[in-house]
Structure 1
Amino acid sequence: MSFARVIHYATSILCCNKGSMDLLELYRKVFRRFEISEDHFWYIVRKCPRFAVVKNAGACDAASEERASDCTVVAKTSLRICKNYTKYECGDCQELHLCKYFVYGNCRYGKGRKQCKFSHDVRSEHNYPLLRECTLHELHEEDLFLLLLQNDPSLLPEVCSHYNKGSGPYGACTFKATCTKVHICQHFIQDDCRFGHRCKRLHTIDDFGRRMLEERGLSGEVIHDLPFIYKNVYRLNASVSYPEREAAVEPIARPLMQNEERTEICLHFIRRNCRFQDQCIRVHFNLPYKWEVFDGEGWRDLRRMEEIERAYCDPRNTHSPGSRPVDFLTMTRDSDPVRRLSTASSVTKPPHYILTTEWLWYYKGDHENWIEYGKPDDKQRVTSVASRDLELAFLTDGSAEVTVMKGHRQYYLSFQDMYQRNPKHNTKRRVRRRPRFVSITEVENKIARGMEQDVRKAHRYHQLEFAEIS
């Protein structure tokens, strides 16, 4: 059984159920096809960026004591429709080149003899690699389109905030029936409307809204599902993706492992001087990194750890070498989850601490190469921020957005989806955070030098102590 197959199947189920589903109901449907354990399924939903988990009345948070049965899973994607494609202003970018009305299900050119100027081919030479990179290449068209509608903010009109204020059939909206935003109850979308069917606000799309949406090109099927889609849009905006936090709701059955919080390697143990020994809250290991695989019962060490680490430190690599490679993007090997433990980030410790983990930040260049922030590109241009700056910002707020300058151009780097965006041209580049490679030999040499320094310090201390006694 492959985790990728489970993720694809769960995504298909969600899209067939208007983009979201109760967590336990989704698990039951997935279990009919894949006999996956509750722990493994919880791990996938919690760690995979394809899914957001929210409480039925709002976002789950780390302090929540709600059970998994109170939560909803919503399908996510970072893919977007390129806005500049239909303006003939985009050559090659990391966004889909598709006709917007084709996604709406109502392109008039696609149905007649006259061919549409814009692509209706989700598997085109430009689109297919993007779908494959996001593991969406096997998704049915209608499922992909629903996924885009509830994730791409440029595709649907906003909910009218003025309609949700004041009294009267149009609330405080001065445009009334000519408003280009959707008139629907905001509390209904947030799943907290106290009035239910007695509410004065709309819980469906009325005739005025339908005509406005049809003029925008939306098909009748999409318009019918819009209340559900807007609910999912709200849930996605209210949620926090699990890669940026630890657990949020109680696991379906039992915790994945008893000591899951012990994920930082002890710097003092590496130097052979941890005074807490077995009581230490950190992991005791002889390297500043540790690769482990979950075998269904617990975490166990992977073989050829240095080889895996060497591959992982190169931002070009998405897999480790060997017949059973580790997938660095999904952090799995075959169907089993993989994790990398490490020492504290170098930016959190003084410079004299040895064997901290130095994280380097890269963006994808124009020629499939990866360029470290703060280093010159092929045209000798340098970004305004370096790896250390980004690492500090990332540890301060893992969901923040950082402004980056390169020459006269301004970019925004989002830690949440790890993309660098150019707001002027609406293009984006992938970003990766990888550690600097440290070999086992280098670790041993650094430990030896550190121990020599400790001996010299102790020797000087005893000399001073002897002089005072004399």
Structure 2
Amino acid sequence: MSAYSREILQATRLLCGSRGAMQLLQLHRKLLQRCDITEEEFIHIMEGCSRFLLVRGPAGDAGRRPEDCTVVAQTSLRLCRSYGREEPCGGEGVCEQLHLCRFFVYGTCRFGKGRKPCKFSHDVQSDHNYHLLRDCTLQELREDELFLLLLQNDPALLPEVCLHYNKGSGPHGCCTFMNTCTKVHLCQHFVQGDCLFGLKCKRQHAIDDHGRHLLEERGLSGEIIQDLPFIYRNIHHLAAAAATAATATLPSENRVPVPQTDETDICLHFIRNSCRFHNECRRVHFHLPYKWEVLDGNTWTDLQHMEDIERDFCDPSKTQSSGDRPVDFLTMTHQSRRVRRLSTVSSVTKPPHYMLTTGWLWYYKGDQGTWVEYGEPDDKNRTTSVTSRTLEEVYLSARTPEVKVVKGQREYVISFKDMYQRNLKHNTKRKVRRRPRFVSVAEVKKQAQ
């Protein structure tokens, strides 16, 4: 794409000047005013350059029209979190993330303009930052363009949309924090672009006064807050595309479940007979913290011997369940039909007193072919520098596709993308698996009392 560097830069600038996204045909018309480019070249750039995410319309493949497509600007650049916490990060020339003041990006840093200098960099063109920007061909962007690009791509910069606000019938949904919630109260369907109620929707389609006050306290400028509903829609498109790519491009043996949404989470309160939302609850009501289903035509139906399937699945050495007609855990199929496993939320997302959350354990294949849990001693009494809980937290945060781990004198990298642990020195690989801790039906009944 180096032959189209000017066109890519101008298209990026147009997108950043239009809240990070534009309709495909509109972008083409605007770009023609700046560059001499054919329609064929334009489509080639949009589909082939990693800077642009092409979001198709809701219609099927045959019904998609160019005017239904949206282009979203994307980048792999992030702010260095260690730098922002004044922690070691490898330093300039080693760290592959930008060293910038977060509040400078927000447009609200009080320092650096007066007598007292800011302890964090406001220099986008510093040697460290310029090197990274040049590698991503972003060195010619203006500061406001770069900051918009970072805001919709760096998940650490903006608070999440509150999922609990979008459930239940109350004015705050089922968000127990209500006016003190530190997440953004916005209609999730508006963010996703599929709200059917429009102006009649009971959920916010814009930031209200209370939300504005909370966001201003967090450090965001009024200009950013005004554009947040549109930025969150871009974030949704980028996250959805990343989740799809993470599963669709992997061999079936190495596929990792994408973190579940509320609609496929099992309700913790229902298991304990205490769900006050009843039929209005957006979570799945089931008597166990796991549920195995098979796709029968267009309907998901329960699999028989669910506890036995779950027991086998919790064993990382097993690739299928027992019996004459097993469930294949690598392809998630049962007699060529699709299978899925629903569960309660991961235990790392809730305080310890929450019962019957799902405890996910992470394993690597040891020297003798046995599976060893991270953080536990192997056959030579060596332990890894990370535990299952640490890996689960990082995995769910989606902050990074890889995690470094040390065992003894050796360094490894765990890749969430292909579920392998790689030796940095010898480049050898070991398989990695994520399986839940087994909970029997009897134990569920005892805890649910």
Q: Give the TM interval when normalised to the shorter protein.
A: 0.5 to 0.7
> Residues 137 and 414 of structure 1: is their aligned pair in 2 closer, same or farther, counting only changes over 3 Å?
farther
> Residues 226 and 196 of structure 1: is their aligned pair in 2 closer, same or farther, counting only changes over 3 Å?
same
Matches within 5 A, 1:369-384: none
CA distance, structure 1, for counterparts of residue 140 and residue 82 of structure 2: 26
Which secondary structure does the structure 1 equivalent of 2:112 belong to?
helix
Q: What residue is the counterpart of 1:254 in the other structure?
A: none
Q: What residue is the counterpart of 1:38 in the other structure?
A: 39
CA distance, structure 2, for counterparts of residue 242 and residue 25 of structure 1: 26
Q: CA deviation at 1:406?
A: 6.3
1:234 and 2:236 matched: yes
CA distance, structure 2, for counterparts of residue 34 and residue 243 of structure 1: 31
Which secondary structure does the structure 2 equivalent of 1:84 belong to?
helix
> Residues 95 and 132 of structure 1: is their aligned pair in 2 closer, same or farther, counting only changes over 3 Å?
same
1:83 and 2:85 matched: no
Which secondary structure does the structure 2 equivalent of 1:144 belong to?
helix
After TM superposition, the score normalised by the length of structure 2 is 0.54
Ranges in structure 2 where 5+ consecutive residues have no aligned partner:
250-399, 428-449
- Conserved? CA contact 2:19–2:227, under 8 Å: yes
1:18 and 2:16 matched: no
Q: What residue is the counterpart of 2:112 in the other structure?
A: 110
1:47 and 2:48 matched: yes
Amino acid at match of 1:157: P
- Conserved? CA contact 1:81–1:98, under 8 Å: yes
1:226-279 Cα distance to aligned partner (Å, 9 max, x none): 001000000111226999999xxxxxxxxxxxxxxxxxxxxxxxxxxxxxxxxx
Q: What residue is the counterpart of 1:158 in the other structure?
A: 160
Q: What residue is the counterpart of 1:428 in the other structure?
A: none
- Conserved? CA contact 1:102–1:110, under 8 Å: no
Among 132, 135, 138, the alignment partner of 1:133 is: 135
Q: CA deviation at 1:67?
A: 1.9
Q: CA deviation at 1:26?
A: 0.4
Q: CA deviation at 1:187?
A: 0.4
> Residues 204 and 125 of structure 1: is their aligned pair in 2 closer, same or farther, counting only changes over 3 Å?
same
Matches within 5 A, 1:67-466: 67-89=65-87, 90=89, 91-92=91-92, 93-239=95-241, 407=407, 408-413=410-415
Equivalences, count: 264
- Conserved? CA contact 2:165–2:172, under 8 Å: yes
> Residues 401 and 140 of structure 1: is their aligned pair in 2 closer, same or farther, counting only changes over 3 Å?
closer
1:320-357 Cα distance to aligned partner (Å, 9 max, x none): xxxxxxxxxxxxxxxxxxxxxxxxxxxxxxxxxxxxxx
1:152-187 Cα distance to aligned partner (Å, 9 max, x none): 000000000010011122111110100000000000
CA distance, structure 2, for counterparts of residue 171 and residue 40 of structure 1: 47
CA distance, structure 2, for counterparts of residue 173 and residue 233 of structure 1: 22
Q: What residue is the counterpart of 2:352 in the other structure?
A: none
- Conserved? CA contact 1:47–1:243, under 8 Å: no
CA distance, structure 2, for counterparts of residue 242 and residue 26 of structure 1: 25
CA distance, structure 1, for counterparts of residue 405 and residue 119 of structure 2: 36
1:258-302 Cα distance to aligned partner (Å, 9 max, x none): xxxxxxxxxxxxxxxxxxxxxxxxxxxxxxxxxxxxxxxxxxxxx
CA distance, structure 2, for counterparts of residue 229 and residue 195 of structure 1: 21
**Structure 1 vs Structure 2: percent identity of aligned residues?**
56
CA distance, structure 2, for counterparts of residue 33 and residue 242 of structure 1: 34
CA distance, structure 2, for counterparts of residue 167 and residue 14 of structure 1: 37
Ranges in structure 1 where 5+ consecutive residues have no aligned partner:
247-399, 422-430, 432-470
- Conserved? CA contact 2:76–2:153, under 8 Å: yes
Amino acid at match of 1:38: E
Report which structure shows greater RCO (CA 8 Å, sep ≥6): 1
1:360-388 Cα distance to aligned partner (Å, 9 max, x none): xxxxxxxxxxxxxxxxxxxxxxxxxxxxx
Q: CA deviation at 1:413?
A: 3.7
Amino acid at match of 1:224: Q
Q: CA deviation at 1:28?
A: 1.0
After TM superposition, the score normalised by the length of structure 1 is 0.52
CA distance, structure 1, for counterparts of residue 102 and residue 205 of structure 2: 26
- Conserved? CA contact 2:57–2:64, under 8 Å: no
1:66 and 2:64 matched: yes
**Which has the larger Rg?**
1
Which secondary structure does the structure 1 equivalent of 2:25 belong to?
helix
RMSD: 3.0
Q: CA deviation at 1:112?
A: 2.8
1:59-107 Cα distance to aligned partner (Å, 9 max, x none): x98x564122210000000000000002222223000000000001101
